[in-house]
Amino acid sequence: MKAEFINPILESTINVIETMASTKVVMGKASLKKGIRVWGLVNGIIGMASQDLAGNLILSFDKESILGIVSSMLGEKMTDITPDVVDAVGELTNMICGGAKAILGKIGYKFDMATPVMLVGQELELCQFSKAPVITAPFTVEYGKFVVETNLYSKNAK
Amino acid sequence: MKAEFINPILESTINVIETMASTKVVMGKASLKKGIRVWGLVNGIIGMASQDLAGNLILSFDKESILGIVSSMLGEKMTDITPDVVDAVGELTNMICGGAKAILGKIGYKFDMATPVMLVGQELELCQFSKAPVITAPFTVEYGKFVVETNLYSKNAK
């Protein structure tokens, strides 16, 4: 995983959540993910692919953070993980990946996006079939916490 | 979903499982997926993406089918869903998607592959963030059953 790949993803995460939820986003320290436990309760996953690049982007929200973010997005107080909330996670996953695609495209790393899938559940386990390491970065908003993870890598890198 | 997309995926599924597990694969009738329940216990998901196409391919095995298939692949009796079995599901997901990519590429539908993720769990729920319908097809092998699902679609289709 090149820092060139992770930084645009983190930058896009902050841009999208701050814009969509009108809330300050504070990023913690990114690190190598250990283990296969999914961090949060509500999760969005999207595949990224080109002749050069392959990997996944995963957003994982705790209940408080996603209810706060979606309440702010929709202008309506959400108190449960409804289909609308799950759908909003798909939309955020798409937008964050799209933002990262735009930034990476400008520095010569092009890829196309699959479509998001969303998973809800505590203590889910998700394995990656890839030799690339998974980088995980924690974020805090006024409502709660979420993490962003990716194993995007270049198939052509030496 | 065009039949042009689904048939190569089903053909590749049969090719890969029959070759890798040396077992006869019988396909049932494909249909529109209803609901969000994940069919089986051990699941592989991979994103497909190009400027034209986007979607996911999902393999979902019951315990009996995947233990039988992987035992046959590895030449060693597997009795539990170990990390090796989960890894084999990632490999099968990659191979089936790669086979479909080859067939679809020959008829002008090109895409690149993300990397597989694998999920283990009963009664998982997985939502798709896509307007495309999900097609599901059931398969039977001597050991048990599995399904293949996809929502691959053309962004440029009218």
pLDDT of residue A57: 98
Question: Which ranges constitute the DSSP H helices of chain B?
Answer: 3-21, 63-74, 83-106
Q: Rounded to whole angstroms, what are the CA distances from A105 to A1, A35, A87, A147?
A: 17, 31, 27, 23
- Taking only the tens place, the pLDDT of each residue in B70-125 is 999 999 999 999 999 999 999 999 999 999 999 999 999 999 999 999 999 988 99
For residue B142, give both structure tokens.
Answer: 């001597």
The whole-number pLDDT of residue B137 equals 97
Supply the pLDDT for residue A123.
87
pLDDT at B43: 98
- Write down how long chain B is: 158
Burial category of A151 from C-beta neighbours within 10 Å (exposed 0-12, middle 13-18, buried 19 and up): buried
Minimal CA separation from A44 to chain B, in Å: 9
Name the residue of chain A whose CA is nearest to B122's CA: A124
* Residue B84 sits at the chain A interface (C-beta within 8 Å): no
Please enumerate in sequence order all residues whose Cβ is within 8 A of that of B108, keeping only pairs 6 or more positions apart, or say none.
Answer: none
What's the angle, vertex CA B116, arms to CA B148 and CA B5, rounded to 5? 40
Name the pLDDT band for B158 (thresholds 50, 70, 90). low
State pLDDT tens for residues B32-54. 999 999 999 999 999 999 999 99
Q: Rounded CA gap, B27 and B14, in Å?
A: 8
Across the interface, whether the CB atoms of A126 and B111 are under 8 A apart is answered no
Chain B residues closer than 8 Å to A110 by CB:
none
Band of pLDDT at residue B1, cut at 50, 70 and 90: low
Check residue B3 and give its pLDDT: 66
Geometric angle at alpha carbon A116, from A146 and B4, rounded to 5°? 170
Domains and CATH numbers, chain A: 3-152 (3.40.1550.10)
Q: Which residues from chain A sit within 8 angstroms of residue B91, using beta carbons?
A: 129
pLDDT at B2 over 80: no
Interval A78-126: pLDDT, tens: 999 999 999 999 999 999 999 999 999 999 999 999 999 999 998 899 9
User: What is the rounded end-to-end Cα distance, in angstroms, of chain B?
Assistant: 12
User: Which three-class secondary structure state does DSSP give residue A51?
Assistant: coil
CA-nearest of A59, A115, A152 to B50 is A115
Question: Do the Cβ atoms of A127 and B93 come within 8 Å?
Answer: no
Q: How far is C-alpha B15 from the geometric centre of its chain's CA atoms?
A: 12
Q: How confident is residue B63, by pLDDT bands cut at 50, 70 and 90?
A: very high
> How many Å apart are CA B73 and CA B68, to the nearest integer?
9
* pLDDT for the residue numbered A2: 63
Closest alpha carbon to A96 in A59, A65, A139, A125: A59
Q: Degrees (nearest 5) of the Cα angle B21, B116, B155? A: 115
A56-76 pLDDT, tens digit each: 999 999 999 999 999 999 999
